[in-house]
Amino acid sequence: MTLLEERMRALLRWYPRSWREQHGEVMLATLLDDAEARGLDEPARADAWSIRVHGVAAHASPTVAAVLAAATLAVVLVALGLARIDPFAGPSIPIPPGSQAFVPIPIVDLATPVLLLAVALPLVAWSLLALVGARRAVAASPLLLAAAGPAIVGVVLAVASIVATLYPTVTEHGDGSTSVSGLAPSWVTVPACLLVAACAVPLLGDLLPVGIAAWLRWPLAFVGACIAGAVTVGLAPSTLLALVAMALLLVAFAAMRADRVDAEPCASWSPQLVGTLGGVALCIGVPTTVFSIVANLGMVPVDGGAMRLVTALATAGSIAIVVAGAHMVRSVVGAWAWAPAAALLVAVLGACSAIVLGEARLAYAAVIAASAACAGAALAGTALLVLPRASWRLPAALATGIVAALLLSQAFAWLVPVTWIAGVPLVVAALVRARRDARAIPEPAYG
């Protein structure tokens, strides 16, 4: 083996093993012939970087997406576990010189943003990109550029959050009280949004349909990238990442099943029904969320009856999301999809009851625990249905359900009112599916 061949083989190891087994020898022969024709004794630097980029992008698959989503759930679970610990019971850092902090800084307060921002955020973004790369024919460079944005932004936001925790901003109010803010400043979050948007523009432009004119393609990609950047930075410090990761995990499981040869074809899902339910969730969720924000800020006096009505409307939007999701899963696994959907509906109604009861009631904890258990059982059942037939199918489904139950037990009461956000991808998926179905219908012949 010559030195050139040895280095070419080393570069091809950037590709996944399955790809190398199918195409490795052909790719190696092509690279060697090209290098010999150009009189090279070693791979050119540009060629080496091109192989690395395309090799990393070739790892995009539903399996990788599922692993990344599961890792995200584990990281968020650890972060929630740290948040439940008494911060002053563990080690702490002395107040730094020049800081306006009142007490020593607990290590837990510094570790939680690092886990959520620097670790969980890139993992969930990479999981989404792995699904995109596996299902759509996109170029390798835009895919990796889009993956670099969340990683850089996550580290920057984590550092900014640590600095803001060590050096908080103390605000004095007119009544003599003071408040401490440890959030990342806007001069960090706004550039972070723009950085994610700039990294996502080439990928979104590549994903848009071919028929869109060039003068319209890139403005649309820029608008979509700005929205993606704002959503990324907005979700980063919250446990909503767990909700996104669970959805990506189930989608990855379904994609893994669809890739298997032994997957049975089932009925297709109706884009009209899914789009309608997603639109109903959006029409309910947006005004109720705005009303809740206004009420919490004290801008409008609100009594208990109004908040119960808002909770009921939010629950109706969540039910619409569950029904739409079950209808889509039914196209993969058949009528069994309605069994976990029923358990998830019970969990949603339980969370609604917990919101109405309030945290001061003794029954609140029991209702939340029961609702989280039902939701965990529903997600475990869904995972068991959509996973391909394999020896690890049952353990993976049980692990999914247990992790989901543990996560939801910490934040289920406030996750239900924001599930309307899932209406956005449902409406988009319905529009894309309806457009594809319309193209598949042959035009009638006249004459």
Looking at residue 143, its amino acid is L
With a threshold of 0.85, does the pTM exceed it? no
DSSP readout, 27-79? HHHHHHHHHHHTT-SS--HHHHHHHHHHHHHTT-SHHHHHHHHHHHHHHHHHH
pLDDT at 188 over 70: yes
What average pLDDT does this structure show over 20-28?
87
Mean residue pLDDT of the chain comes to 79
Q: How does residue 172 score in pLDDT terms, banded at 50, 70 and 90?
A: low
How many CB atoms neighbour CB 79 within 10 A? 23
Question: What tens digit of pLDDT does each residue of 220-234 get?
Answer: 888 888 888 888 887
- pLDDT tens digits for range 398-443: 887 887 777 777 665 566 667 777 777 888 778 777 777 776 665 5
Report yes or no: 215 and 43 within 8 Å, Cβ to Cβ.
no
Distance CA 324, CA 344 (A): 12
| Confidence band of 123 (pLDDT split at 50, 70, 90) | very high
> What integer is the mean pLDDT of 106-133?
87
**Residue 88 confidence (pLDDT):** 65
Q: Which of 354, 372, 373 is nearest to 363 (CA)?
A: 354
For residue range 329-353, what is the model confidence (pLDDT) as tens digits? 887 777 888 888 888 888 888 877 7
Give the mean pLDDT of 321-326.
Answer: 87
Residue 174's pLDDT band (cuts 50, 70, 90)? low
Residue 263 confidence class, pLDDT cut points 50, 70, 90: very low
Predicted pLDDT of residue 148: 92
Q: Could you read off the pLDDT of 231-251 as tens digits, one per residue?
A: 888 777 776 787 788 888 878
- Specify the pLDDT at position 410: 67
| Helices 121-135 and 140-166: angle between axes, nearest 10 degrees | 170
Q: What percent of the chain has pLDDT over 90?
A: 4
Q: Which of 421, 110, 96, 431 is nearest to 285 (CA)?
A: 421
* Average pLDDT of span 297-309: 68
